[in-house]
Amino acid sequence: MNTYFGLLAEFDGRAGDSQKATWLVSAVDLAKYLDERKAEAHVMWQRVNT
């Protein structure tokens, strides 16, 4: 089961009149990515603070 959320890519500050495409991001893939980054950051923090 894939759950997708549309995230509007508005980087230039224009609201509503942007011609940039909507991004579709899998919530499951995003959660896995964030969990991996958190684990990597924790390992790095432990190395620096021990």
pLDDT digit string (tens) for 11-38? 445 556 667 677 788 888 889 999 999 9
What's the rounded Cα separation, in Å, for the pair 35 and 12? 29
pLDDT computed for residue 16 by the predictor: 60
Q: Which helix (H) or strand (E) holds 30?
A: helix 27-48
Kindly state the average pLDDT of the residues 33-46.
94
